[in-house]
Amino acid sequence: YSEGRCHCPLDNKVLTENDMFPDSCVEREILQLRVKCPNYTLGCSRMVDLNYVEHHTQGCDFQPVICPNECAATVLQKELEQHLIAECILRLTKCQLCDHPYAFNQEQ
């Protein structure tokens, strides 16, 4: 590439935009490469095809998720249920006297 022109690597002819096209063969090969889950450092040991990474992380037990109760906690997907049941300060609990629901951090 020089002076804004692309040259063929085989015969050094100047290439125009019409001479170029996306190489889907190489793209397919790349997308089939096996890679570690992005959550590897958090404990996931899965190896997945590059084109499957996004799908895998959506259901990965080690994917960090934000508490849906908006308590500001970020926990691993596999720990979310326990967090919502026993740890979240904004989890709903019921008054033992009247059965009225209230946020755990507003206990009276």
pLDDT tens string 65-105 = 999 998 999 999 999 999 999 999 988 777 777 877 767 77
Ramachandran angles phi, psi of 35, nearest 5°: -135, 160
Cα 31 to Cα 106: distance, rounded to the nearest angstrom: 50
Which domains are assigned to the chain?
A: 27-62 (no CATH), 63-108 (3.30.40.10)
Query: Which spans in the chain are helix H?
Result: 24-31, 53-59, 80-82
Residue 95 tokens read as 């008054």
pLDDT tens-place string over residues 22-66: 889 989 999 999 999 999 999 999 999 999 999 999 999 999 999
pLDDT of residue 1: 41
